[in-house]
């Protein structure tokens, strides 16, 4: 029996132009976690699913992370059609992606997100994923640049936005701000945000994040 491929084709309907297209996804049954970095980057045996987490419509150029792809509102559809589509050089992201192709897809999602005024939390998430991809590609300068952008957007989110993302709460967000600050060698902000996280985690009974924050705080002290 032939071995089942890691990748499969997912059918997608663009919420902006109603075009139907296919994009690759990694089969969850094939995922074998190898390790996880302190800022939550997962390493897998074989393909890493983050390479395929952005959907790009080949017709109109609308690009977004899968969790946000279908949730675009009518007024923001108009922004995409008026500002993204006229400049779009039609091309297909539906095949296998190397790191460069994945980074290009995320950068298109970042351009789209900025154009439609996506939340700072979402922009931070996109920048974080780009930073991760540059880490996997072993490009430390670009990794640091996008981790800085992610950190700054997360700070804006913490200060100005409510949390409606199931993957983030105050404890996790403050921890991530602190950890990204540590990674970009901003010791002062790393100490401040990890301390904030420890205070939140201890009061909100989040022992895993609390332990991670305390460990990273010790690393910052030794910097």
What is the mean pLDDT of the segment spanning 83-109?
97
Residue-wise pLDDT tens digits, 138-174: 999 999 999 999 999 999 999 999 866 667 788 899 9
Domain parsing of the chain, residue ranges: 7-162, 169-223
Range of weakest confidence among 45-49, 54-58, 138-142, 160-164: 160-164
Q: Does residue 90 have a pLDDT over 80?
A: yes
At residue 79 the predicted structure's pLDDT band, cuts being 50, 70 and 90, is very high
DSSP-based three-state secondary structure for 196:
helix
Average predicted confidence (pLDDT) for the chain = 94
CA separation for the pair 154, 170 (Å, rounded): 11
Q: Does residue 200 have a pLDDT over 50?
A: yes
Q: Does residue 26 have a pLDDT over 50?
A: yes
- DSSP one-letter code for 95: S
Place of tokens 């400049």: 87
Q: Does residue 41 have a pLDDT over 70?
A: yes
Give the dihedral sign, CA 184/108/166/47. Answer: negative
Predicted pLDDT at 1: 44
What is the DSSP pairing of strand 7-13 with strand 20-26? antiparallel
Residue-wise pLDDT tens digits, 15-25: 999 999 999 99
Tell which wins on pLDDT, 163 or 29: 29
Do residues 194 and 38 lie in contact, with contact meaning Cβ atoms separated by under 8 Å?
Answer: no
Predicted pLDDT at 169: 86
Predicted pLDDT at 2: 44
Predicted pLDDT at 162: 82
Place of tokens 């022992």: 207
Note the pTM of the prediction, 2 decimals: 0.94
Predicted pLDDT at 10: 98
State what percent of residues in the chain have pLDDT above 70.
Answer: 94
- DSSP one-letter code for 167: T
Q: Does residue 212 have a pLDDT over 80?
A: yes
């Amino acid at each position: 029996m032939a071995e089942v491929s890691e990748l499969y084709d997912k059918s997608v309907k663009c919420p902006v132009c109603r075009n139907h297209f296919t994009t690759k996804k990694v089969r969850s049954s094939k995922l074998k976690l190898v390790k996880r970095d302190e800022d939550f980057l997962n390493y897998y045996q074989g393909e890493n699913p983050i390479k395929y987490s952005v959907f790009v419509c080949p017709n109109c150029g609308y690009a977004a992370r899968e969790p946000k792809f279908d949730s675009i509102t009518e007024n923001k559809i108009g922004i995409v059609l008026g500002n993204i589509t006229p400049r779009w050089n039609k091309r297909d992201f539906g095949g296998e992606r190397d790191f460069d192709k994945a980074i290009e897809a995320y950068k298109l999602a970042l351009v789209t997100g900025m154009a439609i005024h996506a939340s700072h939390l979402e922009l931070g998430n996109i920048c974080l994923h780009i930073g991760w991809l540059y880490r996997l590609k072993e490009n430390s300068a670009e990794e640091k640049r996008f981790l800085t952008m992610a950190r700054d957007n997360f700070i804006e989110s913490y200060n100005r936005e409510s949390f409606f993302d199931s993957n983030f709460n105050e404890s996790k967000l403050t921890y991530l701000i602190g950890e990204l600050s540590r990674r970009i060698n901003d010791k002062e902000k790393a100490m401040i945000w990890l301390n904030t996280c420890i205070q939140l985690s201890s009061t909100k009974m989040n022992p895993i994040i609390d332990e991670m924050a305390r460990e990273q705080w010790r690393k910052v002290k030794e910097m």
